[in-house]
Amino acid sequence: DAKTTQPPSMDCAEGRAANLPCNHSTISGNEYVYWYRQIHSQGPQYIIHGLKNNETNEMASLIITEDRKSSTLILPHATLRDTAVYYCIVPRGTGNQFYFGTGTSLTVIP
């Protein structure tokens, strides 16, 4: 079962790109990497997920290394509303349920 490691906190200047790293060195070949964020005590919000290829959507880009042992979530132009806790998750178990770590607390600074 893959586990993830993220830095506990990061700062980013408003308007700049925020790059959030995640290590998942024990990931297996068919396991996806998911990114969610949680703003205050709201429900976690889905951002993006991927298996091997880099992915992009309207919210963010996900870069997965070729060996799949790590990934980076990129918020291209961070705004104050992107201040949140960001979770990198590799689903596991019979239901592909999520086991959340402590995530990265991102603070976007004006």
Binding site for another protein (CB under 8 A): 30-32, 34, 36, 38, 41-46, 49, 51, 87, 91, 93-102
Non-local (6+) Cβ contacts of 100 within 8 A are 44, 87, 89
Nearer of residues 21 and 101 to another protein, judged by Cβ: 101
Nearer of residues 5 and 13 to another protein, judged by Cβ: 5
- Output the smallest distance, CB 86 to another protein, in A: 13
Which residues make beta-bridge pairs with 10?
Answer: 106
- Output the smallest distance, CB 64 to another protein, in A: 14
